Amino acid sequence: MSTGPGLESLVDQTISVITNDGRNIVGILKGFDQATNIILDESHERVYSTKEGVQQLVLGLYIIRGDNISVVGELDEELDANLDLSKLRAHPLKPVIH
């Protein structure tokens, strides 16, 4: 099956997902389908704020509907491990407007 430059190569890797409502969810990609519905295992949400460091919320096993996904990105675990999230400040993303 040809998925082209698809998500196949990212399976079992840690990925970062931006959803249409502006959330950033990080987890291990366990599967996906034609509609870009994805399975994320051991996932957590990173909540950005300008006032305090990044909060991480444990989410666990998630199925995210493709409709609701803006971006799927590979996560460089080494780079990520060197991030001090507690010092990171950022504006939260706005939701996608259709």
Partner 1 sequence: MLPLSLLKTALGHPMLVELKNGETYNGHLVNCDTWMNIHLREVICTSKDGDRFWRMPECYIRGNTIKYLRVPDEVIDKVQEETNKSRSDRKPPGVGRGRGRGREDGSNTQSKGIGRGSNDNKVPGGGRGRGGHGGRGGGRGGGRGRGA
Q: Which residues bind partner 1 (CB under 8 A)?
A: 19-22, 30-34, 37-39, 41, 47, 49, 51, 57-65, 67-68, 92, 95-98
28 to 32, 87, 91: CA distances (angstroms): 12, 24, 25
Q: For 80, which DSSP code?
A: H
Contact status, residue 55 vs residue 47, Cβ threshold 8 Å: yes
- Rounded to a whole number of angstroms, the minimum distance from the CB of residue 78 to partner 1 is 25
Among residues 28 and 75, whose Cβ is nearest to partner 1?
Answer: 28
Among residues 73 and 95, whose Cβ is nearest to partner 1?
Answer: 95
- Rounded to a whole number of angstroms, the minimum distance from the CB of residue 55 to partner 1 is 8
